[in-house]
Every structure is written in structure tokens, then in C-alpha cells.
Amino acid sequence: MATRRMTVGSAGESVAARFLERRGATVVRRNLRFGSDEIDLIARIRSTLVAVEVKTGIGADSRPWENFDAAKRGRTRRAARRLGIRRVDLITVEFTRDRVTVRWLPESA
């Protein structure tokens, strides 16, 4: 049985994938694992492959970007490097009672 956290995370990843696709990106893979490391989304943005970490929160004060700390960023970068991907972006998704807020924080490696 999926936990609430897994269900919310999966919903956030779906929102993030649609968000990127509406902006012309192609989502190539989802939930790619390398041992304990994971990449939520791999997207082709123009001609560049990008690893995308998605952080999701519930409520107006959730601040999901705070969960992408230095340790998580390092694990995501390590997994991305295994694929030859040099760029890691962060997308945050916040679910509140009356809206969904998406923030895309692109970063060049």
C-alpha cells in the first residue's frame, strides 16, 4: 500500500512533468534509481538532458524547496553524472486547498 508521502510525491511529479511538457520539454524518464540514489525526472530541454528533482508540499507554509538540501543535491548530482547529465534543476509543487503552485528553479552545473 502506498503511503501518503509516496502518493503526494507521485502527484507532484506528474504535475511537474506536465508543467515541463507545456513549456516544450520532453520527459524522457521518471523515477530512475541507482542504488539509493534517484532522479525524479529526466527531461530534454531544447537539446540538453536535465535531471529534475521534484519536491512537493501540502499547505501554504510547506516550503518544499527546503527539503532539497546539500546532501540530497549531492545524491541527485551523483546519479545524474552516471548518465552524463551535468544539469540538475529543482521543481517545487505546493498543493493548497484552492490552488497548485509550481516553481521551476533551473540550475546549470
Domain boundaries, the chain: 4-105
Residue-level pLDDT at 5: 64
Question: What is the arithmetic mean of pLDDT over 10-18?
Answer: 95
Top-level CATH class of 4-105?
alpha beta
Residue 59 · residue 36 · CB < 8 Å: no
User: Which secondary-structure segment (H or E) carries 10?
Assistant: helix 4-22
Residue 64 has pLDDT above 90, yes or no: no
The number of beta carbons lying within 10 Å of the beta carbon of residue 73 is 14
Question: What is the arithmetic mean of pLDDT over 58-86?
Answer: 89
**Exposed (0-12), middle (13-18) or buried (19+): which is 49, by Cβ within 10 Å?**
middle
